[in-house]
Structure 1
Amino acid sequence: MTTQHADAAVRDLYSRLLDAWNRRSADGFAGLFADDGTIIGFDGSVQSGAARIRDHRSPVFADHPTAAYVATVREVRPWAARTRSCCAPSPPCSRPARRN
């Protein structure tokens, strides 16, 4: 995979992750993680594995009006699928604006 293709793939994955969050889809969100994937919540809680991520996100999406997120990926490094990005919540009552 070329650097350009890897960059596009990481940006696409991050876009799909935010889309799943904004749709409040625990299955869609968790389905983007590998079995050994990990998320760290704003409160510092850690969930590892797609099933645990889904189980943790499901009640959050079901019981709380989560904010929508928009983001800009600032940097993708060719040796790892790690992004440096800027992400900001929009209140649940407003429509998120797309940043480029």
Structure 2
Amino acid sequence: MLIISQNATDYDLDFPKDAILRINLAWCNSLDELEIILKKNSDYGIFVDLPIGRLKPPNNRYTLNEIIPILKNYNNIKYFAVSNVDDDVDLDDFVNSVPKNITIVPKIESP
């Protein structure tokens, strides 16, 4: 699996059609901006990364309730990463809310 940063799309580069585009929500200034990126890259599978508890800039923050409608509306979203996971209880809301066709990727951060 080839995962490519959303920032790489700022350059005139060709990517394999089976590449996965990673969108870090910390770098999206609005959910409208996220939707523009999703539409622009509709041919690619998408890996959305939601940084929970991020302190360093940029630290744009979105709630699960804000994100769920977008996850439901874009079939090209294949993966959804959740940061700062300490145990399975941290994932309960995500497992119960994220559409079943999207793979949840828990990101365990080191202290």
TM-score, normalised with respect to structure 1: 0.25
Return the structure number with greater helix share. Answer: 1
TM-score, normalised with respect to structure 2: 0.24
